[in-house]
Structure 1
Amino acid sequence: METMTNPRIQKGKKYFRFLFFGILFITAGLVLFALAVYIYAKILGPPPLAVPQSTLYYSNDGSIIGESNSGQKRYWVPLRSVSKEIVNATISIEDKNFYHHHGFDIKRIGGALLADAIAMHKVQGASTITQQYAKNLFLTMDKTWTRKISEALYTIRLEMNYSKDKILEGYLNTINYGHGAYGIQAASQYYFGKDADQLDLAEAAMLVGIPKGPSIYSPINSLEKAKNRQLLVLNSMKENGYITEKDVKSAAQEKITIVGKHAYHRSELAPYFQDIVRHQLKTALGLSDRTIQLGGLRVYTTLDTKQQQIADDVIKESIAEDSDIQVGFTAMDPKTGFVTALVGGRNYDESPYDRAVQASRQPGSTIKPLLYYAALEKGFTPTTMMRSEPTTFQFDNGNAKYTPHNFNDQYADGEITMAQALALSDNVYAVKTHLFLGENTLVRTAKDFGITTKMAKVPSLALGTSGVHVIDMVGAYSMLANGGKKADPVFITRVEDYQGNVLYEYKPQNEQVLRPDLAYVMTQMMTGMFDKKLNGYASVTGSTIINQLTRQYAGKSGSTNTDSWMIGFTPQLTAGVWTGYDKGNEITLAADKRYAKTIWARFMEKSLKGEPIKTFKAPKGVVSLPIDPKSGKVATKDCPISREMYFVKGTEPNEYCDLHPGKGEKRLPKQKEKPKQDGWLHKLFNWL
């Protein structure tokens, strides 16, 4: 008997097979697509977790002195530096299944689609924290399919390559909290004036509620809406088991103080200093402009905020407000080379040109310590005598002449010691020394002292006619203060990226350049500008500020028709000041010529107030003797004035002063070696 097949059954089997193979084909396609996406994501590797962050600049005590950003405040902090209330509240309100999905919450997506379909418009979001973070990494809001696909791919890459804690950390550091605050740290500081790890439950719940609509739920824009949103977050935390009903009521009733102020702005403190730091980040460390501005760097500098404020204040109070005189100022720790304060001009907003670092100005007599150090190397001593009188030097067989002049055309009209010549700033003595040593000597010595500008090999170089930078001169004087070690200026001690990785760390230098004994002898000679015992045909050059000083200083002033200088130091601080006109106009007013000394004295005294009074310590091989300043010989009890002077052992004088009547006791300290005679230089210069 033949069995008849029901046509409907046959047709049903046909459709079933079609459906089965269709589903199988689609499933295989989806599997292949997923596999392709996985392989592609693996090839692309882990995406960067950071977005542009504000770069912060720190002083030597760790306080913020400035920042650079694109108008968005972003400060990256690790997850461990975020309060647990912030973490719990964020997960609870934004993505309660965050630790249980792989970037996409399928159940939540389905629920959102159903809710949108019922309402006929979008009423519920389904983005996970990972998806939102992927969106933030693009920093644009284009609503295109290309962007959405890219975000989905980013989400997959994030989940494949990073832990959940790392993803949450990135999300919290990039989300927009309104008012230019991006990231939890910037938001915590803006709204509550505290760091992210210090927020309590009430503050955390209010803050976490803001990203839903920063312009709507900001407590600054609407405290009522912010409180309503806060309560919603608190109830969500209760439902998800993070807090109790009691916690909800307590936090909801807590009175919160809103600050509404960003922690860091473009600092008015040390803008010239910060410019130099940014320049060094680019040139010395090789960082790009974008990395410097938006790389989230932590740049630790040498700036001393106390000294910088003192420098700013004394400059402002010392120079007349209506004066066009400009200023360049640098302070440095001579032991380390750390620049502790710097002023490049009187008003950065009007002129960012840095007169402490960029300007090249004639140093005048402040170059003389470098010249006399070279002379000490060649056998001169503090008591080497030469005549101070009007002198014309002839060159090229009489075809060229040069006549240096002392201030106010005052001269000793007789012999003076090098110590007194330095204290009185005798120009004739300086030029004679320069020519005797050879014009190349000072050029080479200036280079050894760290002077970077070109020196002209001319007789007037001894009087500071070749331009120098303020910061170079402060470094040069610091070498004398620290016993002859290299003192290149240092501005940056450490640089970290936004994750705390060290990109650069300063390594101290300890290069000996000068002879310690000669550096000490030179330093002691430089204390003479403040010692009235060295008064002679004129007063010592520091006489106008001696009464302002309360400790021992070494220094030198200098002036030209267009420049006024004062540089000096103690064992723990060196400072240098230049004042003058930008266009090189002549300084004519007597008050204008005193600005440099006044600023220097006030700065040093205020900066060192309360600090221990330190004296310069003599190295081995240095001896001291009481010297009569006029004769340059060992003083007796009949000498009306006696000054302790220092010599390299074996070069000290052994003749007693014979300018004063009487038979004073003549006794020299016992020496192991017979002192060498100093008279050959005296004879050598008789012809000058």
Structure 2
Amino acid sequence: MEIVTNQRFRKTVKYLRALIIMGLIAFSIMVLFLIGIITYAKILGPPLLTVPQSTLIYADDGTIIGESHSGQKRYWVNLDEISPYLVDAAIAIEDRNFYEHHGFDYKRIGGAVLADIKAMAKVQGASTISQQYARNLYLEHDKTWKRKLNEAFYTIRLELNYSKEEILEGYLNTIYYGYGAYGVQAASQFYFGKDASGLTLAEASMLAGIPKGPSIYSPLASMEKARQRQQIILTAMEKNGTASKEDAAQAEKEELTIIGKHPHNMLVTAPYFQDAVRQALKYDLQLDERTIELGGLKVYTTLDLRQQEMAEKTMASLIDKESDIQVGLIAMDPKTGHVKAMIGGRDYEESPFNRAIQAVRQPGSTMKPLLYYAALEQGFTPSTEMRSEETTFFFDDHRTQYTPHNFNNKYANDDITMAQALAVSDNVYAVKTHLFLGEDTLVKTAKRFGIQSKMEQVPSLALGTSGVKVIEMANAYSLLANGGKKVHPIMIKRVENHKGEVIYESENKPEAVLRPDLAFVMTHMMTGMFDKKLNGYATVTGSTIAGEMTRTYAGKSGSTNSDSWMIGYSPRLVSAVWTGYDNGRTIELISDKTYAKNIWVQFMEKALAGTSAKSFKAPKGTIGVYVNPENGKLATDDCPVKRFTYFAKGTEPTEYCTDHLTDEDGSNAKTKKKNGDKQQNPWYKKILPWT
């Protein structure tokens, strides 16, 4: 009997020893396995925390004008920008031991298992905030062992590589709150119409209860169940010591106003401008489409909402609704190049083609200020005279010819000054100047003014026969408006990524490319299109809109058979307007030909309303004198019309006008000239015999 007992004891010890050894081996394997997982997780490094987020576009005053998303509203905010009530509520209800565990709450897991066994069903969850964040970031919400194992592995990687604050911030910014709202900022704006930083205890405790089941616990789905869930959360906060009993009771009674609307659901502000911004992000900043649309960018633009509204209202009020004429408009700050307003067409939904930055159209006479600036550099002055008469120019040993025509075939048949030629838009004067300077001069000058469109070296280039873009012409005129400093159109001031880091910021580096004195002389000449003192054989081209102006502007209009332009500026603002038909057909109606000028003047007046009527300031190196507009000579008391005109110092006229001095026979020099007295040919007659 004793022998049998000993044998049984030995067998028991043997099995127990084997069991212990097997247990130790299993434990060692498990420890090695865990060490291997942790090592592998450490080698892999931190997992990416990027999730699709809405990109927001802001006007220059910080107003949101655009948003891109994939049906999921996401706006990332830092942890310190989230109401502490919401942070405490989320921890209290989702993971009260969040700061104590390392990704897994084993006590909670054990309790959940026992509860499930007792109920014979899945009744209690045990996922920590870290686990939920891992699931939100990388995994689907299917209930498979593979998904659970992946979730555990990603949880380990998160805990190894990120702080608790980073994990909590990420969780609160990715969790779903229903109705397309992902993250606390989108949810706070949707349910309560405010930022997450401003949530009260009552609002935060209700919001924290929604993620458990948005279709059940959302106050929009059931206010009763939302209230019940809120009570549970407030009780949990009491137990956690993050809310007093009194505060919780008061929050429970608080009446809440539920908005139930996303703040920027329908954004139609400046759609052409927004498209242009997206194109700039893609091609200028070299960002890919996904980053632009879902990268959580904050794009701060130059758009002035007031000026944009003025531009759109002006266009809508002036153009006949039945007409299918189109419009392109750009308004810029000449000092910075910031684009303040943009119209790319009359209806974005009908045609998203942006005529302000994409269409290439003939600028007509709006090219003349660039030509005459080049002439000023070559010694011309506002008083330089040439003969205005129908002229045929021959080339290639008379094998080709070109005959430019003035509007309505009207000519002075006399000498006119450059200032008057510009004011009445004399085409013959322009072509003569162009040919005298050399056909390549205007091409090179246009490039200096920032025009990238190809220029043809032909006689008609002086009359704007080579196509350009509206934005190019607005930029070119900006150089004259700012005293000759190089600028380029800027629509984006700054771009921040989803972390708030600045990834792009525009720079304004003034660089002189024109002579300041000549830029000012040119500007002053361009005020002449509104000054009736420069009327001659034709009226100045801005006479029809001059009466609407309350301040000094410089500008130039232009027209071809199919294009109508008006470009002008004050010291504060440059705007360029083009009107015409997309198919390039001839503009025949008189009313259609006046749209560009009328839109321009009304927009400028409205855009600058309320600002001081700042005038152009003469720089050093210029001198102003009174001249007779007809001949450009110094005016005398006998001249019936005299105009104050600026010149580069040293080029001002020195000869006084004698046309109005009366002789004993009652005649004057001007009359004698008409009767046949010939003045000595000016210097350019030897070079330009056709003049």
Which TM-score bucket, shorter chain as reference? over 0.9
1:195-594 alignment, distance < 5 Å: 195-265=195-265, 267-594=267-594
Aligned 8 A contact 1:190 1:260 in 2:
yes
1:192 matched residue in structure 2: 192
Higher mean C-alpha deviation, range 457-466 or range 469-478: 457-466
- 2: distance between equivalents of 1:482 and 1:593? 29
1:408, CA displacement in angstroms? 1.3
1:683, CA displacement in angstroms? 6.2
- 2: distance between equivalents of 1:662 and 1:221? 96
Higher mean C-alpha deviation, range 98-107 or range 253-262: 253-262
1:39-50 alignment, distance < 5 Å: 39-50=39-50
| TM-score normalised by L of structure 1 | 0.96
1:517, CA displacement in angstroms? 0.9
Higher mean C-alpha deviation, range 584-593 or range 654-663: 654-663
Partner letter of residue 680 of structure 1?
Answer: W
Instruction: Give SS of 2:543's match.
Output: coil
Aligned 8 A contact 1:383 1:417 in 2:
yes
| TM-score normalised by L of structure 2 | 0.96
Residue 645 and residue 156 in structure 1: after superposition, are their counterparts in 2 closer, same or farther (change >3 A)? same
1:668 matched residue in structure 2: none
Instruction: Give SS of 1:147's match.
Output: helix
Aligned 8 A contact 1:384 1:678 in 2:
no
Residue 678 and residue 155 in structure 1: after superposition, are their counterparts in 2 closer, same or farther (change >3 A)? farther
Instruction: Give SS of 1:494's match.
Output: strand
1:680 matched residue in structure 2: 683
- 1: distance between equivalents of 2:420 and 2:139? 69
Instruction: Give SS of 2:342's match.
Output: strand
1:248, CA displacement in angstroms? 2.0
2:630 matched residue in structure 1: 630
Aligned 8 A contact 2:295 2:498 in 1:
yes
Percentage of matched positions with identical amino acids: 64
Instruction: Give SS of 1:545's match.
Output: helix
1:505, CA displacement in angstroms? 1.2
- 2: distance between equivalents of 1:678 and 1:579? 42
Higher mean C-alpha deviation, range 127-136 or range 157-166: 157-166
Instruction: Give SS of 2:127's match.
Output: coil
1:104 matched residue in structure 2: 104
Can you list the C-alpha shifts for 1:161-207, whole angstroms capped at 9, x where unaligned?
Answer: 11111100000000000100000001111111100010001100111
1:681, CA displacement in angstroms? 3.7
- 1: distance between equivalents of 2:235 and 2:588? 77
Can you list the C-alpha shifts for 1:322-350, whole angstroms capped at 9, x where unaligned?
Answer: 11001111010000111111111111111
Task: Number of aligned residue pairs: give it.
Answer: 674
Q: Which blocks of at least 5 consecutive residues in structure 2 are unaligned?
A: 664-679
Instruction: Give SS of 1:166's match.
Output: helix
Residue 678 and residue 617 in structure 1: after superposition, are their counterparts in 2 closer, same or farther (change >3 A)? farther
Aligned 8 A contact 1:651 1:678 in 2:
no
1:158 matched residue in structure 2: 158
Can you list the C-alpha shifts for 1:72-102, whole angstroms capped at 9, x where unaligned?
Answer: 0000000000011000100000000001000
- The root-mean-square deviation of aligned C-alpha atoms, in Å, is 1.5
- 2: distance between equivalents of 1:398 and 1:24? 108
- 2: distance between equivalents of 1:531 and 1:634? 18
- 1: distance between equivalents of 2:42 and 2:247? 45
Aligned 8 A contact 1:45 1:161 in 2:
yes
- 2: distance between equivalents of 1:350 and 1:314? 19
- 2: distance between equivalents of 1:388 and 1:199? 75
- 2: distance between equivalents of 1:4 and 1:265? 86
Instruction: Give SS of 2:8's match.
Output: helix
- 2: distance between equivalents of 1:404 and 1:458? 12
Aligned 8 A contact 2:139 2:147 in 1:
no
Aligned 8 A contact 1:494 1:504 in 2:
yes
- 1: distance between equivalents of 2:243 and 2:435? 87
1:501, CA displacement in angstroms? 1.0
Aligned 8 A contact 1:653 1:678 in 2:
no
- 1: distance between equivalents of 2:442 and 2:145? 72
Can you list the C-alpha shifts for 1:512-557, whole angstroms capped at 9, x where unaligned?
Answer: 1111111010000000011111111111111111111100000000
Aligned 8 A contact 1:384 1:681 in 2:
no
Higher mean C-alpha deviation, range 402-411 or range 562-571: 402-411
Partner letter of residue 210 of structure 2?
Answer: I
Aligned 8 A contact 2:140 2:147 in 1:
no
Aligned 8 A contact 2:391 2:690 in 1:
no
1:173 matched residue in structure 2: 173
